[in-house]
């Protein structure tokens, strides 16, 4: 740990500000907020819906995270029914803390002396899953780490993101810089050796993706990312200057969750939405969003093409059981990061379920689009007839389509590998099935069921590969077991790429004394793994990061991250569940994000850097 981190100093509000904050949470206000929660929120947050955080779990969120969710995030549709004052009161009441409770000292953790940002060196880890093929694999030369050294990994430094409750945007590296997107609505540029801060640029909306790095024709190094309002941005890496921003979808609940991919002067960005959650309201006119992918000019952000996953705009379909106007078809969001196959001129995407009946032909599918114009080349629909939205989680609410699931999205980024001279697409699905398709025509080569599956996986965010094996994270938690059937088997599963044969499995059963009520929410693997020769790293929902021998499955190293950390920037920080993006491996460092508030998991706001002996 650096000297700055060891001080552990925290800069809190002044006494006067604290008194004002406490006044905001005075008994009368708290009682009103409690009554508001019971009236407007308790029916969904009672624990009856497994993927919705309970009242207890919400206490681990920051007030800023709750407010963001109500104003621009997943709960924006529900938040519309509340006044601004009510939203703030709920955020403070549920978290048990006033907004902006703690801040970092002015200048704390900033780089000093002759340390200057220099993005012009190597790019040892690029965007989500390290490159266009999404293998999340690092060569031994670039890793700066061998299998023999892995057991000696120890914490070097920690960086806290203020006001955040989730770490969903994995870091990316360029030159001496580490780029990190924050759910606090900012991009951070750190020195990747020490964790000190070069610059911070506020965007005004949560940064939900990895920073994809590329070089413009004029030589500037640029990062591309997406936010919670479905806007894509380009930022110049040396200075943190925003070069352009462009909203990619007209729907008010559209959002970017999958990370951009840059190639040959273009940036390809997937678009998802929060409408799936809004549909839980009986008075919500469900549903009109349709998934999309946009291609933009990398230098200017000007649109090149946009392809939708649902043909035609939604039209009126009548009224729901609650008497609310309904629409369709809708859904098939693209919330997984796409993959690029340059030699075939393809962009491969994964889609989610339809939101309305009947389900559309491109939902729950792996789809290959032309890089040139976005035209579909082939579609492999793995689960036909899948229509689901959050109304179904409330016992078949007014907006629940007749199919009622099973909600088997492709949320894991497609992985491109070479097997026997053939280019193959590996896709992990929430059904618990890993699919292998011929990249040329989408023909099925093999498929292997490795988990029970369910609405939260099965395979949620991640599959990695070392070129010989596929490493798949299995969650098998939450609701969805009835549709999927079978026994839950959360853990890490390794398959042979040629035939899909299971090579080994690490089981991670729900065994969490003292947390029994939330046990199924913090067991299993959901985040994307990452690999180097002979080793695979995987983070678990209970906050444990492990390294396994890639051949035998033996655990080489582990670290518990669900705890408090001293940070180089003096921000109060805790680890929690590890979810979404993979660990990042480069130059002797393993970077791990810890904390993920969604789906009743454990909140956190810390980026951790591990090195051999912590040096």
The confidence band for 62, taking pLDDT boundaries of 50, 70 and 90, is low
| First-residue to last-residue Cα distance in the chain | 8
Q: What is the 3-state secondary structure (H, E, C) of 242-260?
A: EEEEEECCCCCCEECCCCC
Nearest to 411 by CA among 478, 450, 376, 363: 363
Q: Residue 216: pLDDT above 60?
A: yes
Instruction: Give the single-character DSSP code of 134.
Output: -
Contact yes or no for 412/421 (Cβ under 8 A)? no
Report the range of poorest mean pLDDT among 74-78, 289-293, 375-379.
74-78
Q: Where are the domains of the chain?
A: 3-102, 414-527
Three-state secondary structure readout of 140-208: HHHHCCCCCCHHHEEEEEEEECCCCCCCCCCCEEECCEEEEEECCCEEEEEECCCCCEEEEEECCCCEC
Q: Which residues are CB-contacts of 194 (< 8 A; sequence separation ≥ 6)?
A: 2, 111, 115, 157, 568
What confidence score (pLDDT) does residue 226 get? Answer: 98
pLDDT-derived band at 21 (thresholds 50, 70, 90) equals very low
**By the 8 A CB rule, do 278 and 76 touch?**
yes
- When pLDDT is averaged across residues 194-199 and rounded to a whole number, the result is 97
- Considering the domain delimited by 414-527, tell me its CATH architecture: Beta Barrel (2.40)
What's residue 4's pLDDT? Answer: 40
- Asked if 285 and 316 touch (Cβ cutoff 8 Å), the reply is no
Judge contact between 253 and 219, C-beta under 8 A: no
Q: Which residues contact 103 (CB under 8 A, 6 or more apart)?
A: 11, 162, 571
Closest CA to 354 of 325, 389, 304: 389
pLDDT tops 90 at residue 410: yes
Banded pLDDT at 149 (limits 50, 70, 90): very high
User: What is the predicted pLDDT for the residue at 146?
Assistant: 97
What's the pLDDT tens digit per position in 66-125? 776 676 565 666 776 777 677 877 777 776 667 664 444 446 799 998 899 999 989 999
Supply angle C-alpha 568, 572, 577, rounded to 5: 100
Backbone angles phi, psi at 278, to 5 degrees: -60, -30
CA dihedral 114, 118, 121, 125 (to 10 degrees): 110
On whether the CB atoms of residues 190 and 173 are closer than 8 A, the answer is no
| Strand, helix or coil for residue 76 | helix
Q: Using an 8 Å Cβ cutoff, are 183 and 209 in contact? A: no
Beta bridge partners of residue 103, listed in sequence order: 11
Nearest in space to 491 (alpha carbons), one of 511, 507, 503: 507
* Whether the predicted pLDDT of 138 surpasses 60: yes
Q: What is the mean pLDDT of residues 484-512?
A: 88
CA–CA separation, 244 vs 226, rounded Å?
12
CA distance 361 to 384: 7
pLDDT beyond 60 at 208? yes
Percent of the chain whose predicted confidence (pLDDT) is above 70 = 84
Q: What pLDDT does residue 117 have?
A: 96
Q: Write down the mean pLDDT value for the chain.
A: 88
Q: Per-residue pLDDT averaged across 596-605, rounded?
A: 88
Alpha-carbon gap, residue 163 to 181, rounded angstroms: 13
Nearest to 129 by CA among 467, 428, 415, 343: 415
Cβ-based neighbour number of residue 404 at 10 Å: 17
Q: Nearest-CA neighbor of 103 among 489, 550, 572, 438?
A: 572
- Other CB atoms closer than 10 Å to residue 576's CB: what's the count? 27
Residue range 39-56: average pLDDT?
65
Average pLDDT of 255-279? Answer: 97
Average pLDDT rounded to a whole number, residues 572-583: 95
Burial of 423 (0-12, 13-18, 19+ CB in 10 A): middle
- Judge whether 271 and 253 are in contact, CB under 8 Å: no
- pLDDT of residue 446 exceeding 90: yes
CATH (residue range 3-102)? 1.10.760
What element of type H or E holds 87? helix 84-95
Q: How confident is the model at residue 488 (pLDDT cuts 50, 70, 90)?
A: confident
DSSP secondary structure letter of residue 48? S
Res 404 pLDDT > 80: yes
Instruction: Tell me the mean pLDDT in the region 423-432.
Output: 98
**What stretch of H or E contains 239?**
none
pLDDT tens digits, residue range 510-552?
A: 665 555 445 555 778 999 999 999 999 999 999 999 999 999 9
Phi, psi for residue 284 in degrees, rounded to 5: -85, 130
Q: How far apart are CA 465 and CA 428, in angstroms?
A: 12
In the beta sheet, which residues pair with residue 262? 267
pLDDT at 11: 35
- Check whether 65 has a pLDDT greater than 80: no
**What is the pTM (predicted TM-score) of this model?**
0.87
Each as own residue / partner, the long-range contacts of residues 7-10 (CB below 8 Å, 24 or more positions apart, any chain) are 7/566, 7/570, 8/566, 9/105, 9/108, 9/570, 10/102, 10/570, 10/572
pLDDT tens, 177-192? 999 999 999 999 999 9
Least confident of 26-40, 253-267, 452-466: 26-40
Higher-pLDDT residue of 407 and 11 is: 407
Q: How long a stretch of residues is the chain?
A: 615
Residue 299 has pLDDT above 90, yes or no: yes
pLDDT at 504: 98
Q: Residue 571 above 90 pLDDT?
A: yes
The predicted structure's pLDDT at residue 9: 40
The 10 Å CB-count burial string (b at 16+, else e) for 126-140 is bbbbbbbbbbbbbee
């Amino acid at each position: 740990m650096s000297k700055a981190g060891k001080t552990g100093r925290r800069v809190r509000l002044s006494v006067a500000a604290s008194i004002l904050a406490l006044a905001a949470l005075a008994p009368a206000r708290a009682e009103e907020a409690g009554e508001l929660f019971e009236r407007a929120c308790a029916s969904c947050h009672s624990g009856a819906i497994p993927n919705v955080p309970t009242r207890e779990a919400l206490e681990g969120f920051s007030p800023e995270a709750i407010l963001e969710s109500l104003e621009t995030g997943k709960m924006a549709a529900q938040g519309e029914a509340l006044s601004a004052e009510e939203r703030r009161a709920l955020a403070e009441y549920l978290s048990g803390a006033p907004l902006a409770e703690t801040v970092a000292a002015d200048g704390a953790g900033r780089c000093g002396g002759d340390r200057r940002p220099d993005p012009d060196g190597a790019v040892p880890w690029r965007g989500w899953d390290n490159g266009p093929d999404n293998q999340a694999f690092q060569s031994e030369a670039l890793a700066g780490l061998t299998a023999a050294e892995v057991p000696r990994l120890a914490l070097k430094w920690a960086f806290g993101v203020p006001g955040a409750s989730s770490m969903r945007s994995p870091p990316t590296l360029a030159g001496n810089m580490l780029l990190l997107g924050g759910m606090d609505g900012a991009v951070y540029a750190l020195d990747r050796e020490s964790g000190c801060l070069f610059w911070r640029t506020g965007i005004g909306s949560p940064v939900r993706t990895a920073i994809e790095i590329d070089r413009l024709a004029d030589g500037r190094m640029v990062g591309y990312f997406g936010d919670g309002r479905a806007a894509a941005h380009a930022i110049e890496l040396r200075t943190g200057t925003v070069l352009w921003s462009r909203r990619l979808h007209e729907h008010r609940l559209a959002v970017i969750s999958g990370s951009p991919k840059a190639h040959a002067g273009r940036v390809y960005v997937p678009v998802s939405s929060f409408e799936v959650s809004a549909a839980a309201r009986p008075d919500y006119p469900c549903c009109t969003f349709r998934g999309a992918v946009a291609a933009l000019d990398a230098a200017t952000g000007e649109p090149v093409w946009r392809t939708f996953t649902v043909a035609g705009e939604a039209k009126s379909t009548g009224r729901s059981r609650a008497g609310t106007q309904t629409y369709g078809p809708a859904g098939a969001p693209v919330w997984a990061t796409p993959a690029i196959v340059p030699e075939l001129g393809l962009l491969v995407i994964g889609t989610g379920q339809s939101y309305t009946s009947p389900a559309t032909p491109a939902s729950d599918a792996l789809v290959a689009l032309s890089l040139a114009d976005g035209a579909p080349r082939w579609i492999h629909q793995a689960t036909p007839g899948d229509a689901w939205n959050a109304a179904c989680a409330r016992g078949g609410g007014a907006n629940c389509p007749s199919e009622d699931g099973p909600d088997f999205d492709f949320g894991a980024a497609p992985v491109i590998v070479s097997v026997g001279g053939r280019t193959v697409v590996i896709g992990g699905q929430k059904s618990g099935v890993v699919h292998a398709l011929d990249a040329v025509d989408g023909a099925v080569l093999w498929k292997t069921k490795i988990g029970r599956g369910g609405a939260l996986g099965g395979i949620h965010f991640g599959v990695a590969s070392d070129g010989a094996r596929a490493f798949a994270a299995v969650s098998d938690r939450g609701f969805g077991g009835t549709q999927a059937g079978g026994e839950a088997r959360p853990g890490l599963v390794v398959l042979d790429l040629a035939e899909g044969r299971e090579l080994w499995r690490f089981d991670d059963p729900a065994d969490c004394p003292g947390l029994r009520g939330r046990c199924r929410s913090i067991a299993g693997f959901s985040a994307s793994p990452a690999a180097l020769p002979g080793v695979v790293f995987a983070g678990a929902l209970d906050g444990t990061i492990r390294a396994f021998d890639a051949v035998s499955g033996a655990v080489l190293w582990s670290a518990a991250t669900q705890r408090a950390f001293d940070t180089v920037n003096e921000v109060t920080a805790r680890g929690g569940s590890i979810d979404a993006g993979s660990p990042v491996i480069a130059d002797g460092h393993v970077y791990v994000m810890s904390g993920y508030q969604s789906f009743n998991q454990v909140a956190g706001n810390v980026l951790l850097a591990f090195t051999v002996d912590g040096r």
